[in-house]
Each structure stands twice: as structure tokens, then as C-alpha cells.
Amino acid sequence: MFKRTFIALTIIAAPAIADSPVVNNVNVTKSGDLWSFDVTLSHKDTGWDDYADAWRVVDANGKQIGIRKLAHPHVDEQPFTRSLSGVPIPPDVTEVGIQASDNIGGWSSAVKKIKLR
């Protein structure tokens, strides 16, 4: 007689690793002692379950200088631009970074460097 061996395959459901938001473009202006940032992001927003939820301005050490929270998904608006004004940056800081976040993966490891003029 033949022995039959059955191999059971188990598929474990794991959360999908979402793509991080991408900082496509940054426009910076200075008015007096304060700075304004217009940041264009792209992200594969799918709705409330996965969307770009913020971007921030950081110094060379990664310390947050300013943050722009995003209140809702932008499924049908890609890429999209949002602004943040009134950001105080010390006069000796000549470069900042822009870092984006999504509600699944948190802050992206990518930081777009911006020279201040």
C-alpha cells in the first residue's frame, strides 16, 4: 500500500508594508525672521487605512523645527502640495530637511535636504 503524505501550507496574513510618502518638491521663502514651506508629496493613498498624514521640517540632527499635519487622505489628488508658514529657524542654520510620514509606517527614513538662502 502507498502511504500518502500531505503537506499543509499555512499562509500567515501579515500587514502589507506600505510605500513611504515621497517629497517631490519644496519651495521655501523667508519673511522677516520666519520661513514658509510649500511641500509637494506623493503617496499611494488608499483612503483612511493608508495615507500620508504629515510632513515636518527638521534640523541637521533630526530635531523637529515645524510640522504640517495632514487631516485626510488625498486619494484623487496626487501629487499634492500643502504649506506651513511661520517657522522660526535660527540664523546659523543653513540647511534643513523635509521628512514625510504616513499613518502605517510613520516617518520615512528619507529626508530631503534643503539649503536655506
**pLDDT at residue 17 above 70?**
no
Provide the pLDDT for residue 111. Answer: 96
**pLDDT at residue 56 above 80?**
yes
**pLDDT at residue 15 above 50?**
no
CB-based contacts of 65, cutoff 8 Å, min separation 6:
56, 57, 58, 59, 87, 88, 89, 96
Nearest Cα neighbor of 28 from 92, 74, 89 is 89
**pLDDT at residue 13 above 60?**
no
**pLDDT at residue 28 above 90?**
yes
CATH of 22-115, one of 2.60.40.10, 3.40.50.300, 3.30.1300.10, 3.30.300.30: 2.60.40.10
% of the chain surpassing 90 pLDDT = 60
- Tens digit of each residue's pLDDT (9 = 90 or more) over 105-114: 999 999 999 9
- Tens digit of each residue's pLDDT (9 = 90 or more) over 61-100: 999 999 999 988 887 888 989 999 999 998 889 999 999 9
Mean per-residue pLDDT over the chain, rounded:
86
Any idea what DSSP says for residue 63? Answer: -
The larger pLDDT score, comparing residue 48 to residue 5, is at 48
